[in-house]
């Protein structure tokens, strides 16, 4: 799935001021989706795979996407930008978090790199704030194009979906990494990412995370590049009673074009519109 562009026939480029736009820069690429607030319906999905590690090359690819169409230059009712950077994110308890110290928090937890913009994103109901960074030139580009946009860590979207659940393990699968998040009786209990090489590696890290926890997960929820035909789904069902693939949010409607996507990689993007 190198590139997809799905546009509902009700989309009207002259009425973007009535639409909500969500943009996501993830480990696997650049995506955006549009919600028509009047219909309460997701009517547009775009995705382009991007794997450039160097910020300059990544920016060049993103600029090319913007140059292809005037759509992302138009005014929207609300714009949200979601950054998925699990290996460049740390969690700070809200009671200790101070905005002016966010760069220090990140330096303490991660190897510092130059020319990066440090951002923070509160995680509702979790009692934590996600502190993360992204290349400065990418941040500057987004701010230039979307000056009033809300920029968030994907954790601010992920956790509230499961805040009421107990003893749950959420696993997001990307092409080269998996991200594991655990929610227990005391809220957010575990969050980490791992590089993997094959399904056996994935199983090893998931079972290792479970061993670390003080509880046995009652449910495993998978999203990302996964569906019910994948081996990892069936392997996990050998270990856990309840394993499910995350589904689209029920609080919004979806164009019929979006009902048969091959996997669950856009769940987080869609949840940001709900």
pLDDT digits 0-9 by tens, 155-197: 999 887 776 677 899 999 999 999 999 988 778 888 999 999 9
Mean pLDDT for all residues in the chain? 92
Q: Can you give the pLDDT at residue 7?
A: 97
Q: Note whether 31 and 268 are within 8 A (CB).
A: no
**Residue 149: band (very low, low, confident or very high) from pLDDT cuts 50, 70, 90:** very high
pLDDT of residue 126: 84
Domain locations in the chain?
A: 3-85+134-159+249-271, 163-245
The strand pairing partners of 36, in sequence order, are 19, 41
The verdict on domain 163-245 having CATH code 3.30.420.260 is yes
What value, to the nearest 5°, has the Cα angle with vertex 65 and ends 60 and 69? 140
Q: Which fold has domain 3-85+134-159+249-271?
A: Nucleotidyltransferase; domain 5 (3.30.420)
Q: What is the pLDDT of residues 57-100, one digit of tens each?
A: 999 999 999 999 889 999 999 999 999 998 899 999 999 999 99
Q: Are domains 3-85+134-159+249-271 and 163-245 of this chain identical in fold?
A: yes
Q: How would residue 215 be classed by pLDDT, with cut points 50, 70 and 90?
A: confident
pLDDT at site 51: 77
pTM to 2 decimals?
Answer: 0.92
User: Among the listed ranges 52-56, 74-78, 192-196, 205-209, which one has the minimum average pLDDT value?
Assistant: 52-56
In terms of Cα–Cα distance, which of 33, 121, 124 is closest to 84? 121
Alpha-carbon distance 122 to 115, whole Å? 23
Structural contact between residues 11 and 43, judged by C-beta atoms closer than 8 angstroms: yes
pLDDT of residue 249: 93
Q: Give the whole-angstrom CA distance, residue 265 versus residue 223.
A: 6
């Amino acid at each position: 799935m190198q590139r997809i562009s799905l546009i509902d026939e009700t989309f009207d480029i002259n009425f973007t001021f009535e639409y909500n736009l969500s943009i996501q820069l993830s480990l696997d690429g650049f995506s955006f989706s549009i919600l028509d607030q009047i219909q309460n319906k997701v009517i547009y999905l775009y995705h382009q795979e991007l794997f450039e590690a160097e910020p300059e090359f990544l920016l060049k690819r993103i600029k090319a996407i913007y140059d292809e169409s005037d759509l992302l230059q138009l005014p929207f009712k609300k714009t949200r930008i979601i950054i998925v950077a699990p290996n460049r994110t740390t969690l700070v308890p809200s009671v200790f978090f101070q905005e002016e110290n966010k760069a220090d928090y990140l330096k303490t937890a991660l190897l510092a790199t130059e020319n990066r913009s440090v951002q923070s994103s509160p995680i509702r109901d979790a009692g934590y704030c996600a502190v993360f960074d992204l290349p400065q030139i990418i941040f500057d580009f987004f701010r230039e194009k979307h000056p009033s946009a809300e920029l968030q860590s994907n954790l601010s979207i992920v956790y509230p979906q499961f805040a009421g659940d107990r003893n749950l393990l959420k696993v997001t699968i990307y092409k080269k990494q998996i991200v594991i998040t655990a929610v227990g009786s005391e809220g957010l209990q575990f969050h980490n990412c791992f590089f993997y090489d094959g399904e056996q590696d994935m199983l090893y890290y998931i079972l290792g995370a479970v061993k670390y926890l003080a509880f046995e997960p009652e449910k495993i929820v998978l999203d990302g590049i996964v569906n019910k035909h994948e081996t990892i789904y069936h392997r996990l069902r050998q270990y856990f009673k309840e394993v499910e693939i995350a589904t689209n949010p029920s609080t919004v409607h979806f164009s019929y074009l979006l009902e048969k996507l091959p996997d669950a990689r856009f769940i987080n993007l869609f949840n940001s519109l709900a």
